[in-house]
A and B are shown apart, each in its own frame.
Chain A
């Protein structure tokens, strides 16, 4: 845990050290608090974003940020995570569109998931007008800490109790099922209330990963699997404060 705590300032300083001397008009810098809910689950995310405005009209913007996401729920189903088992190909980017090999999937139902992930994020936006904008953001890399909880592994109709399922501790965006850990991403529309405050409507796509400790899935190729992933669709709202 100590090494993770030491990583926090490194992650934040990496995210915020770019472009500090730019003219403020070319920079959109804000903090944001967002909440989203799905089926028996929810997330709360606190983030800081530093975007550079791009293009002649400066309608586009892109940048980096850091985000703390807390995800919680009950009885969340996670399926077999390793890409070589979950999808028809493991080629980065192509994997997103590859066939799902559901015949290899087992289900880990995590009873009381609670994970906190701190990630560097990539952020993109387009300003339609003075008030309205839209954007996309996605976690890139970071780490997770959270609650260990019991889970039930269902494999070919056989059910087993996993007494200690734990959140995957390392997060990395490698595209699709190649991803590791807990990664938050959002599509949003944003309405500017005044120079400081904005509100957002959010569609969230959240990757969660739990690992088993005492029991494993035996995959069709004979390998043991302890990584299970959930891809959750959530909807929510947020409020931003511009600096």
Chain B
């Protein structure tokens, strides 16, 4: 009977422990920026209540497509950090640009669609799983 219990316990641990949590890399990224793209908006990050966030968010436009560049960027490590374009400083209405690639350096994200940056005037670093705002930047 002990063997059965041990087997079930081990199987349970293995089955529940095999999912890797989504986290951003802690390496320094240096994504290249397309020098022919036009800089449309920029904003400096402020802390959002959790961790520390510094750097510049920039919106570039080229051939009818937007991209978001996080430059000289640094953020505290956290689980499930996402990059949002948001209508509000808190992510109530937002576009999820993607999982944050790394916690520091320069990184480029392609933006799907053509959001109106008069509406989506914030770039946010948000811990999606725990609903914690790490940083916000308001475009101008």
Q: Mark B2-32, 1 if CB is under 8 A from A, else 0.
A: 0011001001100110010100000000000
Please classify the interface of chain A as helix (H, G, I), strand (E, B), loop, or mixed, using the class held by over half of its residues. Answer: strand
A76 vs chain B, min Cβ distance (A)? 11
CA distance A199 to B113 in the complex (A): 53
**For the complex, is A112 an interface residue (Cβ under 8 Å from B)?**
yes
In the complex, how many residue pairs between chain A and chain B have their CB atoms under 8 Å apart? 50
User: When A and B form their complex, which 8 residue pairs have the shortest distance between CB atoms, in order from nearest?
Assistant: A150-B131, A37-B15, A111-B129, A35-B12, A161-B91, A42-B16, A160-B93, A40-B19
Q: Which residues of B contact A111 (CB under 8 A)?
A: 128-131
Assess the B128–A197 pair: CB atoms within 8 A: no
Question: Contact check: which of B95, B113, B129 meets A159 at CB < 8 Å?
Answer: B95
**For the complex, is B92 an interface residue (Cβ under 8 Å from A)?**
yes
**For the complex, is B1 an interface residue (Cβ under 8 Å from A)?**
yes
Assess the B92–A160 pair: CB atoms within 8 A: yes
Assess the A158–B5 pair: CB atoms within 8 A: no
Residue of A nearest to B15 (CB): A37
Residue of A nearest to B21 (CB): A74
Assess the A112–B129 pair: CB atoms within 8 A: yes
Assess the B131–A159 pair: CB atoms within 8 A: no
B47 vs chain A, min Cβ distance (A)? 19
B10 vs chain A, min Cβ distance (A)? 11
Q: Which residues of A contact B94 (CB under 8 A)?
A: 159-161
**For the complex, is B46 an interface residue (Cβ under 8 Å from A)?**
no
A225 vs chain B, min Cβ distance (A)? 18
How many A residues face the partner with a CB closer than 8 A? 22
**For the complex, is A172 an interface residue (Cβ under 8 Å from B)?**
no
**For the complex, is A94 an interface residue (Cβ under 8 Å from B)?**
no
**For the complex, is A134 an interface residue (Cβ under 8 Å from B)?**
no
Q: Which residues of A contact B130 (CB under 8 A)?
A: 111-112, 150
Q: Which residues of A contact B21 (CB under 8 A)?
A: 74
Q: Which residues of A contact B4 (CB under 8 A)?
A: 193, 197, 199, 239
Tell me the residues in window 160-210 of chain A with beta carbons closer than 8 Å to chain B beta carbons: 160-161, 163, 193, 197, 199
Assess the B128–A152 pair: CB atoms within 8 A: yes
Interface CB pairs A-B, < 8 A, 13: A35-B12, A42-B16, A74-B129, A111-B131, A112-B130, A150-B130, A159-B93, A159-B95, A160-B93, A161-B90, A161-B92, A161-B94, A197-B1
**For the complex, is A231 an interface residue (Cβ under 8 Å from B)?**
no
Assess the B96–A159 pair: CB atoms within 8 A: yes
**For the complex, is A237 an interface residue (Cβ under 8 Å from B)?**
yes
**For the complex, is A75 an interface residue (Cβ under 8 Å from B)?**
yes
CA distance A75 to B93 in the complex (A): 18
A209 vs chain B, min Cβ distance (A)? 20
Residue of B nearest to A152 (CB): B128
Residue of B nearest to A160 (CB): B93
CA distance A160 to B93 in the complex (A): 5
Q: Which residues of B contact A42 (CB under 8 A)?
A: 15-16
